Structure 1
Amino acid sequence: MRSIRLTLLAMLCSVPLAHAADGKGMTWTKQAHSSMLGIDQVGCNGGAVDGCNPYQGDTSCKNILPVLCVKNDGSTRPPYTASPSEFYDGWLGGQITTTLPILGDALRSRTVGDKLCSSSFGSGWRMAEFHDNPSGGWGFRAYGNVRSSQHFWVAINDQPANCWNP
């Protein structure tokens, strides 16, 4: 665990923090957990007061939050009912977890987020992306049980709602 912390510290110290003062990144939340199936539903939660904004970002990059990490391992979909549809609530085909909290401004690229996940959890882990749901976007389910008490950084590949976009 100490080597992971030292690696993370080295990554953060090597990142220039010259981000715009009003920069925002997109965050998601845990929306539900099934202890019977061992899965979480995570997503954009756009209808909530503290919902996400995948177009412009919703959270100041000056905030310190964990990164949502995924590992697509081909896990078979358990028998849950998608709500409202597979487009918004599809099966990831793997696992999720979160890193230790990180300053949004330290996420200078998707590669930094991916390296944070793989150095924290091992090979095959990377930063979650808005479109990881193979049926659509906005959210998915996966094996895991992440904290429900806070938001977490998630990347988006076709909009500027990342802390690395000025």
Structure 2
Amino acid sequence: MAFLRILCLLVISNIHHVKVVTGKLGVTAVKDYHTAEFGIDYIGCRAWTNPNSMDCNPYQGDTNCDTELPMLCIRVDHSPRPPYLIYGNGAVMPAANYYGWSGGHVSTTLPVKAARFRNRAEASRFCAEALGQEWEVAGIWGAQPHWIPGMNGTKYAGTEWTANKDKLLSGGWSFYTYGNVRNDTRFWIQGPLDQSSTCWEQ
């Protein structure tokens, strides 16, 4: 009995160390690194340059929607892809899929609870109110970003990118974009349209 009483006291005394996740979860992204040569950020599911970075979850979400995080916003102005290099062989998809180009610029808002937004339009309106009329919530699947098979360095960069818009494919998991956002936090983003991992309705 004495052993059981001690065990109960240990459990009670340490219960405040247990993190209980409740409520709906939403998908987030993070900045991995900035390439000053082209003025671009590499943003995606995980910061591979940080050994403590967590993976995102584009299927069920990874962060409680009541958490205050900055919103990642994008202004798509169809800027041609700069000649950044792509390394590696990829995974399920070719490497270029994971190094797609956003065709624009990113910025972030002040931290906000994603649960306050009922749909994507409200999330994008929040971006526009904070940053300007043409800004909307960013995503890393679907319409943002894009890649072309065989692109790397100067291949399919600049005017060659613009001239081959008919070859654009939708990318996922990570992308390059103009900008230099903060790297000390994750961001709320739009998740895949065929999954339930976004805090708001599609």
TM-score (norm 2): 0.67
Give the alignment partner of residue 158 of structure 1, picking from 186, 194, 199.
Answer: 194
| DSSP 3-state at the match of 1:134 | strand
The runs of 5 or more residues in structure 1 that have no matched partner are: 1-20
Contact 2:138 2:189 survives alignment (8 Å): yes
TM-score (norm 1): 0.81
What are the within-5 Å matches in structure 2 for residues 81-160 of structure 1?
81-84=85-88, 85-131=95-141, 132-135=144-147, 136-156=171-191, 157-160=193-196
Deviations along 1:127-152, one digit per CA (max 9) or x if unpaired, are 00232112311111111001100000
Give the alignment partner of residue 80 of structure 1, picking from 71, 80, 84.
Answer: 84
| DSSP 3-state at the match of 2:198 | coil
For 1:38, the aligned partner's letter is: G
Deviations along 1:27-69, one digit per CA (max 9) or x if unpaired, are 0000110112110000112987511000000001121001100
Distance 1:38 1:49 in 2: 23
Count of residue correspondences: 145
* Residue 31 (str. 1) matches residue 32 (str. 2): yes
Contact 1:87 1:137 survives alignment (8 Å): yes
For 1:28, the aligned partner's letter is: A
Highest CA radius of gyration, 1 or 2?
2
The runs of 5 or more residues in structure 2 that have no matched partner are: 1-21, 89-94, 148-170
Off by >4 Å, runs of 4+ in structure 1: 46-49
C-alpha RMSD of the superposition? 1.7
In structure 2, relative to structure 1, the CA distance for the partners of 1:97 and 1:49 (3 Å cut) is closer
In structure 2, relative to structure 1, the CA distance for the partners of 1:109 and 1:137 (3 Å cut) is same
| DSSP 3-state at the match of 1:133 | strand
Percent identical among aligned pairs is: 40
Report the equivalent of 1:52: 56
Contact 2:32 2:47 survives alignment (8 Å): no
For 1:158, the aligned partner's letter is: D
Contact 2:30 2:43 survives alignment (8 Å): yes
Report the equivalent of 2:71: 67
Distance 2:30 2:70 in 1: 11
